[in-house]
Amino acid sequence: MTLPYGAGIPRLLAGLDEAGLPEAVAQADRLFFHAALYSNFARDKDMVQALDIALERPDFEHLDVVSLDPLARAPYWDEFRSVLRQDMPAATLQREFSISAAFLDALASRHPLKVRLFVTGALPLAPILLIGDTVYAGHYAHCPVPAPHGLWMAVPADVAALIELAEVGASPDTLDSTVLGAYRLVHECVAARNVSRRLA
């Protein structure tokens, strides 16, 4: 199978701030967010404005958001709490999830035809953002430094085409190594959505 999914040169980012996410989000024609929670986005006025700019464009397709359901209390929950925010009291982390949920609910209320919200009890393996034709991926770690301040990679790729492949469960073996790596991350987003419960 030969596919025209050529990826550009991946970039390594020292923290998500280096990604220039608000600008990228505002210009994107489709978005897919897969992370445990989004309270940082809720507090970022530039990100909120960028999302509204993108979602208000007539040619914008849709935003899918998969977040972790803290009420599911999965077997890994106690350990993963310390991965998300080390030494943060459980009640404080619960407030972070509440801020995240309120932010997403408000976004879906403002743009009901373009925002699809999903929650899952499945273990999140990495925070992944599909923004236009770039895959952004970070990592969770047992560390007092949270994921947004860790190392991230940004891989330019034909994200829409890779999502189509992932939706049919393809296992392409002729993609070059960079595209194949991007496909694994895109597939993880689609897999997470497939086992999630849709809220909106």
Per-residue model confidence as pLDDT tens digits over 8-49: 789 999 999 999 999 999 999 999 999 999 999 999 999 999
| Amino acid of residue 52 | D
Taking the C-alpha atoms of residue 100 and residue 134, their distance in angstroms, rounded to an integer, is 23
| Residue 5: per-residue pLDDT | 58
What is the total residue count of the chain? 200
What is the strand order of the sheet 31-34 is part of? 11-14, 151-156, 134-137, 128-131, 31-34, 63-68, 115-120, 197-198
* 90-110 vs 45-56: helix crossing angle, rounded to 10: 30
Question: What's the confidence (pLDDT) of residue 174?
Answer: 77
Task: Kindly report the CATH number that applies to the domain delimited by 11-198.
Answer: 3.30.870
Taking only the tens place, the pLDDT of each residue in 109-146 is 999 999 999 999 999 999 999 999 999 999 999 999 99
**CA gap 200, 46 in Å, rounded:** 24
